[in-house]
Amino acid sequence: MPNVTHLECSLCAARFPADRIHNLCSCGGTLLVRYDLAAIKSIWSRDTLRAGRPDLWRYLPVLPVQRPESIVSLGEGMTPLIRAHHLGTAIGTQQLWVKDEGLNPTASFKARGMTTAISMARELGIRKIAIPSAGNAASAAAAYAAAARIEIHIFMPTDVPQANYVECKTLGAIVTLVDGLISDCARIVAERKDQEGWFDMSTLKEPYRVEGKKTMGYEVAEQFNWELPDAIFYPTGGGVGMIGMWKAFDELEQLGWISSKRPKMIAVQAAGCQPIVRAFEQHASRAEFWQNASTVAAGLRVPKPLGDGLILDILRASAGTAIAVSDEEILDAGPELASLEGIFAAPEGAACVTAARKLLASQFLKPSDRIVLYNTGSGLKYLSAYSAG
């Protein structure tokens, strides 16, 4: 039974067949994968997961791959959800967990998006990929492309963490450093892709990375025994993880596995690049390009997320919020999380600690709220940022 019914534009709801190669809708909207959830529900129960694979492919019925032999897996997902008592005490709650995405292949949650996107590239016969990246997405793309034997061209800013650059080169990617931001890298890919025959794997410009990232939502539901937490702090650059998790919760409710209760979704950004925070505060429906974006949290340096409207909708629908954290606070929070809990987090993840502390202090959240911080990557990729402190 095919589980996927079609692809649907997130802006104009136009439908597209799922078995072809697609980027954006002609209206500019991101395409989302739609499943026959009623049929899936009739043959798949959450109890069967106990015997499932110990990686994100345990959720195969709600993933886009049609032929299991297309799957390119390096053991991604099913990351630990760690109870953080000591950090909780420090920030004013006993109900705190860290979802540690630093344990994924290539040490970030980007592996989730790339296992599905590269598996689909293999299924659809794509031979050459190009991707602009702030760092971790490139590392993950390079690893999965290597495993799939697909040619990959990576464009990253010159000041990307050195670890990501070395990792991509070592994994066999063709890497170009660009004197600019991820938006400049994206422009180069867009300009050259037709001539070079590249498939553009930019964030939200293809339908499948979000499908892998949504498994962060499936997992947190499963790990909390199908009752979602009260608040999720997510370090938001392109916002794909947040968009994915929200989609997961919707699918889970349609499967009858969770109730209609949703966590407050909280977008954490860096003070030096906070387009979503500003748009949220101004009650705007889209974000404006953030000029002179700068932060040690390289993954948050996205001046104009393509999915800005979707992110803002989620923050509002979930009664969540958006909050910015300075680099100084991030570089204090990283060692605090590390020394109290044994988790050496990426600056993006560390930012969530400060954000949670602020929202508990302001009483936006109550001490009885169950709070999950997403540490999206490992601190080991950011040695120069941390050693400066």
Rounded CA-CA distance 207/332 in Å is 37
Task: Report which secondary-structure segment, H or E, holds 5.
Answer: strand 4-9
Q: Report how far residue 62's alpha carbon sits from residue 76's, in angstroms, rounded to the nearest whole number.
A: 16
Closest to 258 measured CA to CA, from 46, 25, 113? 46
Q: Pick the stretch among 16-24, 185-193, 225-233, 235-243 that binds ligand PLP (CB under 6 A).
A: 235-243
- Whole-angstrom Cα distance, residue 280 to residue 307? 14
**Distance separating alpha carbons of residues 248 and 317, to the nearest angstrom:** 15
On whether the CB atoms of residues 147 and 215 are closer than 8 A, the answer is no
Answer whether 32's CB lies under 8 Å from 210's CB. yes
Cross-strand pairs, 273: 270
Q: Which does 27 bind (CB under 5 to 8 A by kind): Zn ion, ligand PLP, none?
A: Zn ion
Please provide the DSSP assignment of 97-130 as one string.
EEEEGGGSGGGBTHHHHHHHHHHHHHHTT--EEE
The single residue among 29, 229, 238, 320 that binds ligand PLP, judged by CB under 6 A, is 238
Q: Is 211 helix (H, G, I), strand (E, B) or coil?
A: helix
Instruction: Examine residue 108 and tell whether it contacts ligand PLP (CB under 6 A).
Output: yes
Q: Is 7 one of the binding residues for Zn ion (CB under 5 A)?
A: no
The one among 30, 136, 215, 321 contacting ligand PLP by CB under 6 A: 136
**Closer of 7 and 353 to Zn ion (Cβ):** 7
Binding to Zn ion by residue 383, rule CB under 5 A?
A: no
Q: Which is nearer to ligand PLP, 33 or 255 (CB)?
A: 33
Identity of the residue numbered 364: F
Question: Quick one: what does residue 11 bind among ligand PLP, Zn ion, none, with the CB cut-off 5 to 8 Å set by partner type?
Answer: Zn ion
Instruction: Tell me how far, at minimum, the Cβ of 13 lies from Zn ion, in Å.
Output: 7
Asked if 79 is part of the footprint of ligand PLP (rule: CB under 6 A), the reply reads no
Dig out the tokens for 127 from the structure: 């031979």
Q: Under the criterion CB under 6 A, does residue 235 sit at the interface with ligand PLP?
A: yes
Q: CA 148, CA 72: separation in Å to the nearest integer?
A: 6
* Footprint of Zn ion on 16-55 (CB under 5 A): 25, 27, 29
Report the residue from 241, 275, 309, 334 that binds ligand PLP according to the rule CB under 6 A. 241
Q: Which does 108 bind (CB under 5 to 8 A by kind): ligand PLP, Zn ion, none?
A: ligand PLP
- Is residue 103 within 8 Å of 379, Cβ to Cβ? no
Residue (12 or 166) nearer to Zn ion, CB: 12
CB 59 within 8 A of CB 220: no
Nearest to 345 by CA among 299, 377, 321: 377
Quick check: 134 binds ligand PLP (CB under 6 A)? yes
How big is the chain, counted in residues? 389
User: Counting contacts by CB under 6 A, is residue 215 touching ligand PLP?
Assistant: no
Token look-up 């954290």 returns 325
- Is residue 104 part of the contact set for ligand PLP (CB under 6 A)? no
- Interaction partner, residue 12 (ligand PLP, Zn ion, none; CB < 5-8 Å by kind): Zn ion
- What 3-state class would DSSP assign to 307? coil
Stretch that binds ligand PLP, among 13-21, 224-232, 236-244, 318-326 (CB under 6 A): 236-244
> Taking Cα atoms as reference points, which of 207, 263, 273 lies closest to residue 240?
207
* Complex with ligand PLP: residue 252 or 311, whichever CB lies closer: 311
Say which DSSP state 236 is in: -
Binding of ligand PLP by 239 (CB under 6 A): yes
Residue number, 123 or 336, with CB nearest to ligand PLP: 336
Residues contacting 221, CB < 8 A, separation 6+: 227, 228, 248, 249, 252, 257, 258
Binder of residue 14, out of Zn ion, ligand PLP, none (CB less than 5 to 8 A by kind): Zn ion
Beta strands in 224-286 (DSSP E): 231-235, 264-270
Instruction: Tell me the closest approach of the beta carbon of residue 230 to ligand PLP, in angstroms.
Output: 21
String marking each residue 345-364 x if it binds ligand PLP according to CB under 6 A: -x-x----------------
Give the footprint of ligand PLP on residues 278-317 (CB under 6 A). 299
Q: Should residue 240 be labelled a site residue for ligand PLP when binding is judged by CB under 6 A?
A: yes
Nearer CB in complex with ligand PLP: 361/380:
380
Rounded to a whole number of angstroms, the minimum distance from the CB of residue 17 to ligand PLP is 27
Residues in contact with ligand PLP by CB under 6 A are 108, 110, 134-137, 203, 235-241, 299, 346, 348, 376-377
Residues in contact with Zn ion by CB under 5 A are 9, 11-12, 14, 25, 27, 29
